[in-house]
Amino acid sequence: MKKREIQDLFDELGFIRTGGSKEELKAAKMIKKHVEDLGVKATLESFEVEADTCKAQLYIDGQKVACKGYRGCADGEIEAELFYLSNNDAYSLSACKDKIVLFTGGIGKFRLEDLNKSGALAFITTNGTLIDDTDDIDDKELRSYIREGNKNMPGVNINIKDAAKIIAKRPKNIKISTKNEAKTALSHNVVAYIEGELEDEIVFTAHYDSVPLSCGIYDNLSGAIGILAILDHFKKHRPHYSLRFIFCGSEERGLLGSKAYVKAHEEEIEKIKLCINLDMIGTTLGTPLAMCTSEMKLVDYLEYTALIEGYPLRVMQGVYSSDSTPFADKGIPAMTFARIAPNDMLIIHNHYDTMAHMDMGHMKDDIDFITSFATKMANAKVIPVGRTIPDKMKEKLDEYNCRKRPDQKVI
């Protein structure tokens, strides 16, 4: 796929497409058409997602503060003292009792568990940075796996600039009210298949949805375009192993598309020998990365291959928060390719994720290397990657999937 074709795909699909929305479905249909224009049949596989709405209000000493309610949080009206939770130590948690608790960032399963144990009444989270040029407030949800096994409570999200002002004022009275309306919607995976000489498969995944504040160019239209380019290559060069391409919906809502796929295709899982995922490639600045949830032999092989081909790849064994993980959790060796932008760029999950940070030369470099690696695997007499997940990776998967509390204190 040429650079101009890649650029055209970015231009066409670069709109906000949150999981379960009509815009996400529009993008799914567009991707399906592009796959079929390459001569490969594609299908839309739907799955149900929560589509709650939450009306919320926040008052600080009687003054209204802009906020958005957490979809899926408990309904209620809470009036109490504010506590700023700056650390997750035992003393700080003990001070949360009968308070509305404010902390920076989002909320996970174990933080909600800690707030419940401490006797907190409600929570306030934040998004953004103090040097951001907008006052955007992200639309958050209390995901089902976070609520599972936990007592629910009201919660809202605010911009971090307002959080800093609130803490500086030391307010005496905080009031939160939340009211949910439960709804459901459909999200979609776009699935394509290239038959090889064998029935056993390699699966390629990339999510195409975005978060509410972002057009999701880097995260992760880049990956979706990447696997479309790889599909184009293998349509022209029939592989030994069969290949399945899954453009995943609702990844940003908790890997819902890839989770739905492995659940719906449980009987076919044994055929899958390797999962290759793309999530955030082609940025102007950044380090190419391959994260392997697999045996160390794959890490070593990729390091050698990158050196031979002159590609500046950093390779690690670990769990990447993307659509490779549900496959690894089913015992399938899985990996994610990315080009990780520097931390100070802060270009994901916000309005800064635009074409201004993308480089078509790096997109082409990333796609070419991943295609080269995929070709070696797809045409191998036997895929050399062991179909096993090492114990230490199983432990990391348990932590990622909230089946085990991480060792570190900060959640």
Q: In degrees rounded to 5, what are phi and psi of residue 287?
A: -110, 125
- Statement: residue 318 has pLDDT above 90: yes
pLDDT tens for 20-60 read 999 999 999 999 999 999 999 999 999 999 999 999 999 99
Please report the pLDDT score of residue 344 as a whole number.
Answer: 76
Q: Could you tell me the pTM of the whole model?
A: 0.95
Q: How confident is the model at residue 411 (pLDDT cuts 50, 70, 90)?
A: very low
Amino acid making up residue 224: A
Structural contact between residues 288 and 331, judged by C-beta atoms closer than 8 angstroms: no
Q: Around Cβ 252, how many Cβ atoms within 10 Å?
A: 22
Q: Around Cβ 58, how many Cβ atoms within 10 Å?
A: 24
Mean pLDDT within 248-272? 97
Please report the pLDDT score of residue 1 as a whole number.
Answer: 86
222-236 helix and 22-37 helix, angle to the nearest 10 degrees: 20
Amino acid making up residue 228: L
Structural contact between residues 330 and 193, judged by C-beta atoms closer than 8 angstroms: no
Residue identified by tokens 């080269």 is 372
Sheet of 314-317, strand order: 42-50, 184-194, 241-248, 198-207, 272-278, 334-340, 287-293, 314-317
Sheet of 63-65, strand order: 63-65, 53-60, 174-181, 76-84, 99-102, 122-127, 155-159, 68-69
What's the farthest any 2 CA atoms get from each other in the chain?
A: 71
Mean pLDDT within 230-249? 98
Q: How confident is the model at residue 406 (pLDDT cuts 50, 70, 90)?
A: confident
Amino acid making up residue 269: I
| Cα 54 to Cα 40: distance, rounded to the nearest angstrom | 41
Q: Find the Cα–Cα–Cα–Cα dihedral 257, 259, 260, 263, rounded to 10°.
A: 160
Residue identified by tokens 């007499």 is 381
List the structure tokens of 80: 């109490």
Domains of the chain: 3-48+186-400 (3.40.630.10), 61-181 (3.50.30.30)
pLDDT tens for 83-111 read 999 999 999 999 999 999 999 999 999 99
Residue identified by tokens 């990339």 is 206
Please report the pLDDT score of residue 408 as a whole number.
Answer: 60
Q: In whole numbers, what is the pLDDT of the chain averaged over residues? A: 96
pLDDT tens for 335-388 read 999 999 998 788 999 999 999 999 999 999 999 999 999 999 999 999 999 999
List the structure tokens of 108: 């996970």
The region of weakest confidence among 309-313, 344-348, 398-402 is 344-348
User: Over pLDDT 70: what percentage of the chain?
Assistant: 99
Non-local (6+) Cβ contacts of 265 within 8 A are: none
Structural contact between residues 50 and 120, judged by C-beta atoms closer than 8 angstroms: no
- Statement: residue 407 has pLDDT above 90: no
List the structure tokens of 348: 């994901």
Non-local (6+) Cβ contacts of 14 within 8 A are: 215, 216, 217, 221, 354, 355
* DSSP state, residue 75: P
User: Over pLDDT 90: what percentage of the chain?
Assistant: 95
Mean pLDDT within 219-244? 98
